[in-house]
């Protein structure tokens, strides 16, 4: 039986995303990526690492301490976005998640 495509996957394709979403297994460290959004696939998902860079491409940002996410357990289908114009570059979650790379968020239209 074919799997139905979700609205969030359609959005990624609609706005010129690089992928329809990549699923990452629980507790798998994901590093050196360009990620614009993470979707939790299970209830009570907790991030132990959630880091990225701001729009300038060099200013590192710890999204757990910077946003007060420490110890928070997120509901299924909650979404976590990169800083405006920036990216999430690494994360580790204790439950399965899906990440998306949207069209480039830089100041030019070229990706």
- Residue 60 pairs in a beta bridge with 53
Pairs from 59-64 (Cβ < 8 Å, separation ≥ 24)? 61/86, 63/88
Residue 18's pLDDT is 62
Which residue is listed with tokens 């690492």? 49
Q: Does residue 50 surpass a pLDDT of 90?
A: yes
Q: Is the pLDDT of residue 72 over 50?
A: yes
22 vs 81: CA distance, rounded Å? 15
Where in the chain are the domains? 7-100
Cβ contact 9:20 at 8 Å = yes
Q: What is the mean pLDDT of residues 77-84?
A: 88
Give pTM, 2 decimals. 0.79
């Amino acid at each position: 039986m074919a799997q139905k495509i979700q609205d969030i996957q359609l959005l990624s394709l609609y706005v010129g995303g690089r992928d329809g979403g990549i699923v990452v297994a629980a507790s798998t460290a994901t590093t050196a990526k360009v990620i614009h959004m993470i979707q939790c696939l299970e209830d009570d998902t907790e991030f132990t690492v959630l880091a990225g860079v701001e729009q300038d491409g060099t200013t590192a940002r710890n999204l757990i301490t910077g946003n007060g996410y420490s110890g928070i357990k997120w509901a299924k289908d909650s979404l976590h976005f990169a800083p405006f114009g920036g990216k999430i570059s690494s994360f580790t979650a204790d439950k399965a998640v899906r990440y998306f790379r949207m069209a480039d968020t830089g100041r030019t239209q070229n990706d």
